[in-house]
Amino acid sequence: MMLRLAQWRTALVSLVLAIGITLLLLVLVDAPPLEALRLLWDGSFGSDTKIADTLMAWVPLVVAAAGLLVTFQAGLWNIGVEGQIIMGAIGASWVARSVTGPSWLVVIAAFAAGIALGVGWALVPGTLRTVFRVHEIFSGVALFFVAGGLAIYLIIGPWSRAGIASTSGTDPFPTASWLPTIGRLRLSIVAVVVAVMAVVAVAVLLRGTRYGLRLKAVGRNPASAFLMGIATSRSMLSAFAVCGALGGIAGTVQAIGFHHKLVPSISGGYGFLGILVVLLAGFRTAWIAPIALFFAAILVGSTQLSLRLQIDSSLAGVVQGVLVLLILLTGGWQARRTRIAEAEAET
């Protein structure tokens, strides 16, 4: 109970510090800080269209974060999830552009293709790690850049708009492939339901199944897990596959649920941001959804901010980064104090 209280305190201190640093940054670039905070709120929750946009940013973010929980449970740093999102979007775009039929069929096929490419792209660093001992961080980052290059190649090459090859994106997909939205809002109920299902599924998988327990054993101590008869390589590969599938879903939602075309920045940074969400949540599943919502709100709100106050929209990333860094540091500081106090109590 004491520990919990201490944790809340460090979280609160970090939040206050992060807000303070944000205000300081705003002052540094000559922006009115309080006005900026109000615009941030208005831009993310101010109206039903803004809430819809925030939710549509929440979906890929929370799905990616859920996938990352699985790889983190197995002790893996699947930074390449960003590339897996891109590949998912490419798969979905391919279906949306080429398959004709009833809307439900095209959407299901798009999800299937997105998942397939996401899994395939995740199995590459998985194989390199388990067979060649190449660390997944480096192969993952490299494959992210390769996937990004592939997306741009498709956009200006084979899938370019008639007459003009520009990096602004492909032609919009046929409307049959679009996820249905509510009225004039950009909110898709299907996308939100898929995201909720993904988070619940991962929670059950990690907490309530033998599979989740095995992954945990592999993550904590691969050598002893292996001696206990767990096929460590296969467990790691399966964790990569699950995360790749969820990355593929996030990419599919980005392609057929939000942009309705393939654009160069289709992954939206949600994979990297998902890692921050998981770190901030301290690897706890229950915290993923609210933290992802908070981050999505900052992200969507900051575009409004940059339009109105002429500030670079990277402010969102700065705020998120500062907050996660402070949480890590204050958490470490708290642990250090406990450690010192215990050492003194012993002597």
Partner 1 sequence: MNELATIVATATPLVYATIGEMINEKAGVINLSLDGSILLAAMVGFAAAVASDSVIIGFLAAIVVSVAIAALVAFSSIELRLNQIAVGFVLFLLARQLALFFGDSYVGQVGPKVPAWDIPLLSDIPFLGVVLFRHNLSVYGSYVLVIAAFFVIYKTRIGLVLQGAGERPEAAFARGIPVNRLRLLATVTGGALVGVAGAAVSLDQIAGWRENLTTNLGWIALAFVIFGGWHPFRVAIACYVYRGLLFVAGQFQEELPEFVQVLNTLPFLLMILMLTAVNTQWFRRLGDNHPRWRNFLASDPPSAIGTVFARD
Residues at the contact surface with partner 1, assessed by CB under 8 A: 25, 29, 77, 79, 128, 132-135, 137-139, 141-143, 145-146, 148-150, 152-153, 156-157, 272, 275-276, 279, 311-312, 314-315, 317-318, 320-322, 324-325, 328-329, 331-333, 335-336, 343
Nearer to partner 1, 205 or 298 (CB): 298
- DSSP code of residue 171: P
Nearer to partner 1, 188 or 267 (CB): 267
Task: Return the structure tokens found at 53.
Answer: 């946009």
Closest distance to partner 1 from the beta carbon of 148 (Å):
8
Element (H, E) at 156: helix 136-156
Nearer to partner 1, 204 or 329 (CB): 329
Cα 96 to Cα 103, 111, 336: the distances in Å are 10, 10, 53
Closest distance to partner 1 from the beta carbon of 80 (Å):
11
- DSSP code of residue 254: I
Helix axes 315-346, 2-28, angle to 10 degrees: 140
Closest distance to partner 1 from the beta carbon of 293 (Å):
19
Nearer to partner 1, 52 or 275 (CB): 275
Q: 62 by DSSP, 3-state: which?
A: helix
CA distance 72 to 81: 12
Nearer to partner 1, 293 or 327 (CB): 327
Across 234-267, b (16+ Cβ under 10 Å) vs e yields ebbbbbbbbbbbbbbbbbbbbbbbbbbbbbbebb
Nearer to partner 1, 143 or 199 (CB): 143
Closest distance to partner 1 from the beta carbon of 128 (Å):
6
Nearest CA among 14, 22, 19, 20 for reference residue 327: 14
Query: Rounded to an integer, what is the distance from CA 123 to the centroid of its chain?
Result: 18
Closest distance to partner 1 from the beta carbon of 277 (Å):
12
CB of 184 within 8 A of CB of 53? no
CA distance 62 to 234: 26
Task: Return the structure tokens found at 44.
Answer: 């993310």
Closest distance to partner 1 from the beta carbon of 43 (Å):
17
The amino acid at 89: A
Closest distance to partner 1 from the beta carbon of 312 (Å):
4
Closest distance to partner 1 from the beta carbon of 74 (Å):
15
Nearer to partner 1, 133 or 210 (CB): 133
Query: What's the burial of 85, exposed, middle or buried (CB within 10 Å: 0-12/13-18/19+)?
Result: buried
Q: 12 by DSSP, 3-state: which?
A: helix
Helix axes 232-252, 210-220, angle to 10 degrees: 110
Nearer to partner 1, 61 or 109 (CB): 61
